[in-house]
Structure 1
Amino acid sequence: MKRVLIMIFVALAVMSADAAERKARVRNNVPLDSIVLSDPCVLADSATMTYYMTGTGGLLWKSRDLRLWDGPYRVAETDDESWMGPNPMIWAAELHKYKGKYYYFATFTNSKNILGEYRGNKLERRASHVLVSDKAEGPYRPMADDTYLPADKLTLDGTFWVDTDGKPYMVYCWEWLQNWDGTIESIELKPDLRGSVGEGRILFRASDSPWSREKIDGKERPNRVTDGPYLFRTATGRLGMIWTSWIYDVYTQGVAYSESGTLEGPWIQEKEPITPPDFGHGMLFRTFDGRLLMSVHSHKSINGHYHRVPHLFNVDDSGDKLVIGDEYRP
């Protein structure tokens, strides 16, 4: 009995130390340009009058004014027994409020689960997935279905959209490493978002882009990468999608518009990028005073490592096309 009590005491001590360590890592009043974060997504939560920012890494920041932030907080809780395994990589997390609950759309990667190889690339199991919480600040936990997309398909950067038919959808990328020409696709979700319905449908391919560029075997062609889709409607009701790829080694964001005004498309790509060079993976949100902003990260390669920092840009959606203005500095 004494040995059991000692083991319990040690376990509680370790848990307490871990909690203290996690709390100690949380910083207060951090300026936005001092945060290193890829794929920043901001939820303006009217219930708490707080801005919540997520992204790659599975962490969350919160702010009252978009200028100073508290964090990072760990908010994603996954099932160690699921295909994700313990401590999966988490990319491009987004928060969406829908029918009174908060949903965490993110990409999870299990680096120990290798699906095979394609053209010399090891294919780690990776997929877009959805967690749920009753509060914007989490914690976010798994729902009923353990798989939203085919297990043998590498998918990423899932985002949320309710189309004109009133049904919820996930829009995501099929990884170019597996198909050599990345796609952006959509799949219908169950009414409570606890899983998907049917099969995914291709909206467009990376090779449809008129602005992205790379060279393969000395030949110039559109880049193969599709990254970071995010849907919006202009004030005139036109449906558009921002998404990111590359112009050689420059990280770049473009935009496409649906001619039908629905996910069905066809999707027509604009000829020129929508944001300055070395900015990408953007999303749109409205501030509590009604201002439309784009959250996006800057991209810089330092000694072979990507350095990415969140930025905010003013956006005008009053016409048929999205227009990106100057950087917003709260």
Structure 2
Amino acid sequence: MIIKHPLLVLAFLIVNLFPIYSQQKIQAAEEEKLLDSIRLSDPFILADKATAMYYMTGTGGKLWKSKDLEKWSGPYDVVKTDPESWMGPDPMIWAAELHEYKGKYYYFATFTNRDKIIDTVKGNTIERRASHILVSESPDGPYVPMEDDTYLPASKPTLDGTFWVDQDNKPYMVFCHEWLQNWNGTMEKIELKPDLSGSIGEGEILFRASDSPWSKEYNEEGEIVPNKVTDGPWLFRTQTGKLGMLWTSWVFSDYVQGVAYSESGTLDGPWIQQEEPITAPNFGHGMMFRTFEGELLMALHSHRVGKNGNFIRIPNLLEVDDTGNKISIQK
């Protein structure tokens, strides 16, 4: 198309180039943020050696990138769900994780369709929510659906699925069955297909929220009992080979992270809960990764309530020692 009139040329440039300029301005304004200036729940960091880049995601489903863990560019949209699936056209996304496995990148996340109600328990309506897995050829996406559109039963609200290859060399998802339905949240495992495109069999319970010696709440009679919430599992092995799991619950109004260790060294446990939380109050939903220099760090968020009642959650990085049978956070 050839435009000869000067005013038409000017109009063409304004209409067509201004949006591009605006997008560049928005993008530039969001680049190179410091970690503590980002508001993000459930931060997860993939240290990808192939690209020499750190990739961070979490609740909300966006992606951030960094070469040094200090300055982060983003957020980028990387998720492409199927609007015709059970998720609907605009699902909520919680607790996203990125995992490299056999040359591909997998996006574990909790998706919620608020328009579908699957149950009502004690007056609470329970929305369709489930842990699910998407796939991509590269760490920055796009992440798209695979073969199976359902990994876990449609009748159960499940969340915070994470990835683990156990000693049998089979891949598994470890996830939570939400307390809103069973009133005593569980930590469960389910086997995955070799390419992670679906699940095999049924979930098996690893432990329950009530097994925790450190989480606390008041019951209807005013008695102190274990909290009902299981949240944010993350599997790891210490340098001595001990299998452990980070997970989060509450101590009254404080969001707190604990650790459990498997006596058998496998997902089957039995899982022995540490007596005390590993983090200070109002830090939780952690995971661990090694930097390109070999340092072990825990990524987790701080948690506080703002003046308007909204949660304010900021990513944090803590140094971890895993040289013994149990991990410890370095002061």
When the two structures are superposed, what TM-score results if normalisation uses the length of structure 2?
0.92
The answer as to 2:255 corresponding to 1:227 is no
Which one-letter code corresponds to 2:299 in the other structure?
S
Q: Aligned residue for 1:308?
A: 313
Q: Which of 300, 312, 322 is the equivalent residue of 1:317?
A: 322
The answer as to 2:121 corresponding to 1:118 is yes
Change (3 A) 1:215 1:78: same
Misfit runs of 4+, over 2 Å: 16-26
Q: Aligned residue for 1:160?
A: 163
Post-superposition CA distance 1:278-326 (Å, at most 9, x none): 1000000000000000000000011321000000000000000011113
Which one-letter code corresponds to 1:324 in the other structure?
I
The answer as to 2:66 corresponding to 1:63 is yes
Q: Aligned residue for 1:244?
A: 248
Which one-letter code corresponds to 2:318 in the other structure?
F
Change (3 A) 1:123 1:315: same
Q: Equivalents in 2 of 1:76, 1:29: separation in Å?
A: 22
Q: Equivalents in 2 of 1:285, 1:316: separation in Å?
A: 12
Instruction: Note the aligned Cα RMSD (angstroms).
Output: 1.6
Change (3 A) 1:283 1:111: same
Indicate the SS of the match to 2:259: strand
Q: 1:174 offset after TM fit, Å?
A: 0.3
Indicate the SS of the match to 1:33: helix
When the two structures are superposed, what TM-score results if normalisation uses the length of structure 1?
0.92
Q: 1:22 offset after TM fit, Å?
A: 9.0
**Which structure has the bigger radius of gyration?**
2
Q: Equivalents in 2 of 1:22, 1:214: separation in Å?
A: 48
Q: Aligned residue for 1:4?
A: none
Question: Percent identity, aligned pairs only?
Answer: 66
Change (3 A) 1:23 1:200: farther
Change (3 A) 1:199 1:22: farther
Q: Equivalents in 2 of 1:20, 1:135: separation in Å?
A: 28
Structure 2 counterparts to residues 1-330 of structure 1, below 5 A: 21=23, 24-25=26-27, 27-217=30-220, 218-303=222-307, 304-326=309-331
Q: 1:63 offset after TM fit, Å?
A: 0.2
Post-superposition CA distance 1:33-60 (Å, at most 9, x none): 0000000000000011000000000100
Q: Equivalents in 2 of 1:253, 1:208: separation in Å?
A: 14
Q: Equivalents in 2 of 1:270, 1:224: separation in Å?
A: 17
Q: Equivalents in 1 of 2:226, 2:83: separation in Å?
A: 39
Indicate the SS of the match to 2:190: strand
Indicate the SS of the match to 1:177: helix
Gaps of 5+ in 1: 1-12
Change (3 A) 1:22 1:116: farther
Q: Aligned residue for 1:10?
A: none
Q: 1:220 offset after TM fit, Å?
A: 1.0
Indicate the SS of the match to 1:72: strand
Change (3 A) 1:73 1:259: same
Q: 1:276 offset after TM fit, Å?
A: 1.1
